[in-house]
Amino acid sequence: MKPKKQQTSGNYTTDIGYPLFPEIKHVGSAKIRKYKRIHQPIWTQHKAKFIQQYLKLFVQITKHGAYIDGFAGPQYPDKLDAWAAALVLQSEPKWLQHFFLCEKSPSKLRFVNSLVATQPVPRDRKGRKLPRNIEVWPGDFNINVKTILGNGKITQKEATFCLLDQHTFECRWHTLEQLAAYKRPPQNKIEILYFLCVRWLHRALSGIKKKDTIQQVQDWWGKSDWRELSAKTEFDIAELMRKRFQDDLGYRHTAAFPIYDNPESNRIMYYMIHASDHEEAPALMVRAHQKAVRTLPKEIQRPFEFAEADT
């Protein structure tokens, strides 16, 4: 008999009842094979498809929405088929109405402007024009976020998603606090999709020596105890970050979804920290992860106690 899907407030599970973000260890050995060089890292493709798949599912519930991309430029400018912003804009149905695409890098900003300029008029299946507004915001998202939220263009009732696909320490904790605090009860908070790079994190932390870089990582973590992260495992850091979204930012549903280096490997490159107040979000995110990335096999998962957010 097929097990029923399980869902809780706080963390959530796959359809076999085990967590989505285990600490994974390599087991055994495999014969070395040679393959042709891939066009771009598989994890970049998975990240973009994951976001596209989730928003495609969610917009069928909300029928509207705003999308903020804090670091909107392509990760690999020569491989635009793995660009999250482009995939979200072309996703069907085109019911997301307001886009805020932010980028600091001048070279990447040219790609963002070109992407917006070449967008076709959005239409539904009957050919009727759909409302859509796309704004490009040059500069540091950590600075621009206050203006974006303060201009009133995102209403309190509008379902809003914010993608933060940063380079290691780019997104400041105070930026997350502003996003989480924007919506007033009883409205759901702005939904955050936050990519935490764990594969290179310890190496990056070990290189923090100068005063300016120390300040950068402290702004990213939001606390002075960031040095303690060096002694933690990748899984423990992801779990700690997930818990801070729940406890410090006040989100009802949080989880960390693994992004692997390739379809066959269990080596995790990123965790996508997902934070939402919407009751449908956990189930939709599980479906999106299974379709865009993969379902974790039972033998590499471990049970854990669920931590429920206070309501």
Query: 39 or 242: whose pLDDT is higher?
Result: 242
Q: Pick 181 or 75 by higher pLDDT.
A: 181
Residue 10 lies in a domain: no
Residue 188 belongs to some domain of the structure: yes
Residue 141 lies in a domain: yes
Single out the residue of 206, 204, 210 nearest to residue 167, CA to CA.
204
Establish if 184 belongs to a structural domain: yes
Q: Which residue has the higher pLDDT, 69 or 17?
A: 69
- Does residue 17 contact residue 289 with C-beta atoms inside 8 Å? no
7 within a domain of the structure (yes/no)? no
Q: Which domain holds residue 210?
A: 42-300
Number of domains in the chain: 1
Reference 244, options 258, 230, 257, 256; nearest CA is 256
Q: What is the pLDDT of residues 100-116, one digit of tens each?
A: 999 999 999 999 999 99
What local confidence, expressed as pLDDT, does residue 267 receive?
84
Q: So what's the pLDDT on residue 34?
A: 36
Examine residue 27 and state whether it is found in any structural domain, yes or no. Answer: no
Cα dist from 267 to 30, 32, 47, 49, 194, whole Å: 14, 16, 15, 19, 19
Confidence band, pLDDT 50/70/90 cuts, at residue 28: very low
In the chain, pLDDT over 70 holds for what percent of residues? 79
Tokens found for residue 55: 């928003």
Provide the pLDDT for residue 1.
Answer: 52
Instruction: Give residue-wise pLDDT tens across range 59-95.
Output: 888 888 999 999 999 988 777 878 999 989 998 889 9
CATH number at residue 167: 3.40.50.150
Instruction: Using only the alpha carbons of the chain, give its radius of gyration.
Output: 19
Residue 305 lies in a domain: no
Does a structural domain hold residue 20? no
198: closest CA among 153, 168, 219?
168
pLDDT given at position 105: 96
The mean pLDDT value of the chain amounts to 83
Once rounded to an integer, what is the mean pLDDT over residues 183-191?
Answer: 96
Of 47, 123, 117, 39, nearest to 88 by C-alpha is 47
